Chains A and B, each alone.
Chain A
Amino acid sequence: MSATQQEPRFAQFKLVLLGESAVGKSSIVHRFVKDSFDDFRESTIGAAFLTQTIQLDENTTIKFEIWDTAGQERYKSLAPMYYRNANAAVVVYDITQEASLERAKSWIKELQRQANQDLVIALAGNKLDLESERKVAKEAAQAYATEEGLLFFEVSAKTGQGVKEIFQSIAEKLPLESQIKSKSQPKSVNLQRPSTNNQSSCCS
């Protein structure tokens, strides 16, 4: 249907970040959304989620609604609501911490068990700028990712290397058509809409 392809298309997706504490999840989001990095990052107080749009091609815009864990994963206390209805997940490990890859693998298992069938999962090894302290071989992680059918990247939130590519590749892999269609599903009510009635309109 070449005719419809000319029309501007817009789709919104929920993307969640997962991974052990301190691997750099928040830093990756901040690099992507604000193009900044902080050596002494503290959790973003009050951020429900961050949003960022990507221009996929001339007439396709994708908006990511990016959910950070807000630290609830620290004591293995992440609420299932977090990954409910997620379209994409970036599971992060730290290339200088072997145990963080193991933790990433268990998150991936959990996602495959609990989340959407067509969830796009990317595995990202962060802190690539610390090459001299590397403990996780690229080949090993890559092989695991291929076996599980995941996107795979090594990145550095500090230098920015590879960060945009994660989101770009995810955007390309997302099922755009179904998302645009599903917009027409029966609507839920909007609670934020101010109430139009007052007492005098009650029962009359």
Chain B
Amino acid sequence: MDEEYDVIVLGTGLTECVLSGLLSVEGKKVLHIDRQDYYGGESASLNLQQLYEKFKPGKEVDASLGRSRDYCVDLIPKFLMANGELTNILVHTNVTRYVEFKQIDGSFVFRYGKPSKVPATEYEAVTSSLIGLFEKRRLKNFLQWVANYKEDDVATHKGLKLDIDTTDAVYNKFGLEEGTKNFIGHAMALYDNDEYLQQPAREAVERVVLYCQSVARYGKSPYLYPLYGLGELPQGFSRLSAIYGGTFMLSTKVEQVLYDEAGVFQGVKLSLDGEEHVVKAPQVIADPTYFPEKVSSSEKVIRTISIVDQLPLKNGETSAQIILTGKETGRKNDIYIALIGSEHKVAPQGKNIAIVSSIIEGDKPPHIQLESAFKLLGIKAFDRTFMGLSDLFAPIEDGSKDNVYISKSYDATSHFESVTEDVKDIYFRVTGKPLKLTKLEEGEFNAQA
């Protein structure tokens, strides 16, 4: 095998695969390694057999659940915002040719003891049962202000300064009640706690815009989800990378990371079919598991995966997101529930996957912390539930000293916006220039018989 590369990538999670693809397309010579024998790392989708091996080792697979390979269960539940940055990257790189997407049927927020649809259009807002009559008017005014806001037209700003005024101040300008603030911030801007209220309003406004535009794009909900699970995404980007010359090695153990005297990355020593090879590159991109000594963790996320027969939805929806806001459940952080099933080909007919996630608070056992979600889902016994706790790792340094660029763990948010931010940030640090997406030429040629 070749010994010199421009970039070595360790781990085939989504962040790593998107970067691998983007860099290969630019003509960089990429070597991409994973210690496991499947693509995706933390962002893989597992079949039933693999799910049991990971979470209930030694336990026999429940035969009544059907064929193992009919399941594609995400370890980390997320949806794509229809108008979000990942969609943008998929379109520009033509990875859409390998992955099919379907809409998620609904976006719900749990209030007054039941899930209610999140209004995302003015029409839905004024007809929603979630909001009182007078409040509807105020919400409408707020949404109109957001829609009409133009950076270079001060008249549309209504005297508000997005980089100075806090989100709470903006809400107050429109006279919004607590319940409505909670609703906008958590169900539309998708903040999972209330710290954003005291931050400058720009980010919150941008998030509301993204939400509304995403709903407007295909209707129903702002979310898209790939057939066969999120694990298709890293695979799609890895194929992109391979087509542009990237070399892929799975089941390959990194025996040693090589540094020079100054501690700058030089390459890695790996074993291939029992033989040792040294491969060199000036830079390495890796997920946190490859450099445990260079990352730290501040929070833990709990994620539980349940296989359920019925969904707690009234209007025939087969997929949804339900948000249980901290206000409803007496927690600081929201609980997210992602519901998907055979429509998205992640489970056989009649079975559904329900993934519940949140940030861990205090030391009560996880299943107690998520009690309200299990109640909503009608889950009493946990024999079809798989629980996992994961640390949210982030790199301690930015890689400028040692040329080791480490991605962040996938956080508790319900979509990919923070993942693509990390992609862009690493791209900038690795290449020294901001990521500019240009539409790729169709890499295909046709011939007539």
- A residues at B contact (CB < 8 Å): 33-35, 43, 45-55, 70-72, 74-77, 79-82, 84, 114, 186, 188-189, 191-192, 195-204
Contact = CB atoms under 8 A, between A and B. Distances in A.
A75 B232 contact: no
Contacts of B447: 33-35, 50-52
Choose among A52, A189, A196, A200 the residue with the greatest number of B CB atoms under 10 Å from its CB: A189
Contacts of A196: 217
13 contacts: A46-B443, A47-B243, A48-B94, A51-B446, A52-B449, A70-B239, A72-B248, A75-B250, A79-B238, A186-B102, A188-B227, A191-B101, A203-B208
A47 B149 CA distance: 43
B133 interface: no
B103 interface: yes
Contact of B449 (A54, A82, A191): A54
Given A51-B446, A188-B227, A203-B125, 12 more contacts: A34-B445, A46-B243, A47-B443, A48-B239, A52-B447, A70-B239, A82-B239, A189-B103, A192-B91, A199-B209, A201-B216, A203-B121
Contact of B444 (A48, A53, A191): A48
Interface stretch (B140-148, B196-204, B360-368, B425-433): B140-148
A191 to B, nearest CB: 5
A133 to B, nearest CB: 26
B24 to A, nearest CB: 10
Interface in B75-91: 82-83, 87, 90-91
Interface string B242-284: 1111011111100000000000000000001000000000000
Main secondary structure of the interface of B (DSSP, over half): mixed
B188 to A, nearest CB: 9
B252 A71 contact: no
A197 B102 contact: no
Interface in B84-121: 87, 90-91, 94, 96-103, 120-121
B90 A79 contact: no
Main secondary structure of the interface of A (DSSP, over half): loop
A202 B148 CA distance: 8
A52 B120 CA distance: 44
Interface residues of B, number: 65
A196 B99 CA distance: 22
Given A72-B238, A77-B250, A202-B212, A53 B448 contact: yes
Contact of B249 (A55, A70, A77, A188): A77
Contact of B147 (A52, A80, A202): A202
B306 interface: no
Interface string B309-349: 00000000000000000000000000000000001000000
Contacts of B242: 70-72
Contact of A192 (B96, B122, B441): B96
A74 B2 CA distance: 13
B87 A191 contact: yes
A68 B443 CA distance: 12
A202 B209 contact: yes
B120 A195 contact: no
Given A46-B443, A204-B147, A55 B449 contact: yes
Contacts of A199: 147, 149-150, 209, 213
B416 interface: no
B250 A76 contact: yes
B191 interface: no
B230 interface: no
A76 B243 contact: no
B414 interface: no
B218 interface: yes
Contacts of A82: 239
Contacts of B243: 45-48, 70
A189 B216 contact: no
A195 B335 CA distance: 31
B122 A195 contact: no
Choose among B144, B216, B343 the residue with the greatest number of A CB atoms under 10 Å from its CB: B216
A37 B303 CA distance: 53
B47 to A, nearest CB: 10
B358 to A, nearest CB: 28
B25 to A, nearest CB: 8
B374 interface: no
A132 B245 CA distance: 34
Given A82-B239, A201-B216, A188 B101 contact: yes
Nearest to B447: A33
Contacts of B384: none
Contacts of B38: 80
Contacts of A81: 98-99, 228, 232, 235-236, 239
A72 B234 CA distance: 14
B373 interface: no
Interface string B162-202: 00000000000000000000000000000000000000000
Contact of B146 (A54, A75, A77, A203): A203
A189 to B, nearest CB: 5
B120 A203 contact: yes
B101 A203 contact: no
Contact of A204 (B122, B239, B245, B440): B122
B144 to A, nearest CB: 6
A204 B87 contact: no
B90 A191 contact: yes
A197 B217 contact: yes
B102 A48 contact: no
Given A46-B243, A72-B238, A75-B248, A189 B218 contact: yes
